[in-house]
Amino acid sequence: MSEKIVNDGLEKSYSKHDEIIRSRYEEIWAACEEIFRSEMSGLESTGGIMGIKAWLEKGLQQDKE
């Protein structure tokens, strides 16, 4: 976070949001690596780009709940 938030509740809220984004990014990266590996090894794709899209939409829906 580039600027200090004075209200401690807001700061905790932003920190939690940053953590959610960071973990989601790590999950996306791992999923992309797995799809790439499976396609490169000649195995059937684990869903390709449509699988990633569906997975992202599911994750975003869970974050809203």
- Domain locations along the chain: 8-64
What is the 3-state secondary structure of 14-61?
HHHHHHHHHHHHHHHHHHHHHHHHHHHCCCCCCCHHHHHHHHHHHHHH
Whether the Cβ atoms of residue 58 and residue 27 lie closer than 8 Å to each other: no
Tell me if the pTM is above 0.85. Answer: no
- pLDDT tens digits for range 13-56: 667 777 888 888 888 888 888 877 766 665 444 556 666 777 77
